[in-house]
Amino acid sequence: MRPPSEVLPHRPPFLFLDEVTAMVSGQRAEGCWRLTGDEPFFAGHFPGRPTLPGVLMAEAIAQLGAYIVLCDDRFTGKLPLFGGLDRARFRRQVGPGEQLDLQVEMTRLSARAGWGAGQASVAGELACSCELLFVAVDAIA
């Protein structure tokens, strides 16, 4: 599998997918984000109890979804953008030094949009789940 930085347009400090560990093209993937504790958001969220912001967990799930989409030849030259985030639930705090294991399954793909569902967990314990909607636009305006 290609490294996320070769597939996704995201770059540090906003690339939250370290590795893709399994993928069925156009359908599903698994990956991870390893939190070192050096990420700048931990300093302010929250002092004394550093916690990964929930919206960044949802973004990491979405980035894995974007990886699935961008590996599909139908989306060459496209950029998948968030169209919606539904049923987001946050079940566990995630802190420095933990690995966020990600799973996404695309439930429907069309030429201009797609739907999927994903989750993030730490050591088998669910941290976040959500449904994603994306729209595909031209990568270069």
Indicate the domain borders of the chain. Answer: 4-138
Contacts of 66 (CB under 8 A, 6+ apart): 8, 10, 80, 134
pTM above 0.75, yes or no: yes
Contacts of 103 (CB under 8 A, 6+ apart): 28, 29, 30, 64, 118, 119, 121
Task: List the catalytic residues.
Answer: 45
Q: Give per-residue pLDDT as tens, 87-117.
A: 999 999 999 999 999 999 999 999 899 999 9
Q: Cα(131)–Cα(126) distance, rounded to whole angstroms?
A: 15
Q: Is 58 helix (H, G, I), strand (E, B) or coil?
A: helix
Q: Give per-residue pLDDT as tens, 116-141.
A: 999 999 999 999 999 999 999 999 86
Q: What is the pLDDT of residue 102?
A: 98
Q: Residue 135 CB: number of other CB atoms within 10 A?
A: 14
CATH code of the region 4-138? 3.10.129.10
